[in-house]
Amino acid sequence: MALAAIETRSSTPSNETAHDRRLAEVLKHAARIFWEKGYEGASMRDLSRATGMSLAGLYYYFESKEDLLYLIQKHTFTTIMEQVRERLAESSDPEVRVRIFIGNHLEYFLANKEAMKVLTHEDERLKNGRGAEIRAIKREYYRICLELMEDLRRVKGLQFSGRLAVLSLFGMINWIYTWHNPRVDAGAKVLARQMGDLFLSGVLHNGTSRRKAAKTKGRTAVTRV
């Protein structure tokens, strides 16, 4: 009963309720337990203690720990996509929009390290269509990034593989939670600027070089004819 009600609720910063905030808090505590004990090692009793809910109360809202894992994943990916879409609407410049995507990604990942670890290590646990639903959300996130790369390539007149650029970027920013140490590493904004510089320098330089090479090859072919 309760999980269906939770799934149909949609919250944004403007309409977020006390219920939405409490759910986010429960999911945050549950993510910490899954991270510490692993999905198999965590029990509903462990989750009850961590969330501050009675065991009966937890079972009222969630029939099993898979319900919680599913909601952690769904909440995480829908939230990060809603945030990035809202922020992307602020600019039409393709370079700026790529930087916005990187900044949003790093900001969310660093603020939710435990959830990100759970998503990485427990992403094959979901069954009965839930896994397919989460994978569909992930594909939509990938498409958002791919469209940014295609726009950058078109506007700048570059030549590079959009798919390769997207996967390279994700390889660069997805694992930040595994190495980021706030005592020695910069915060999300500074890291986003630095990583954006590194990524865009590579894309723009490589794309320009390939474009020049193609033009040179074309002129050579014409001369030979």
Residues 6+ apart with CB under 8 A from 185: 179, 191
* Six token digits for residue 151: 């726009």
CATH number at residue 26: 1.10.357.10
Give pLDDT tens digits for 117-129: 888 778 788 888 9
Report yes or no on whether pTM surpasses 0.85: no
Give pLDDT tens digits for 186-202: 999 999 999 999 999 99
The CB density around residue 200, as the number of other CB atoms within 10 Å, is 17
Range of the domain at 161: 2-224
Give pLDDT tens digits for 128-159: 899 999 999 999 999 999 999 999 999 999 99
Q: For the chain, how many structural domains are there in total? A: 1
Is the model more confident about 213 or about 2?
A: 2
Q: What is the end-to-end Cα distance of the chain in Å, rounded?
A: 75
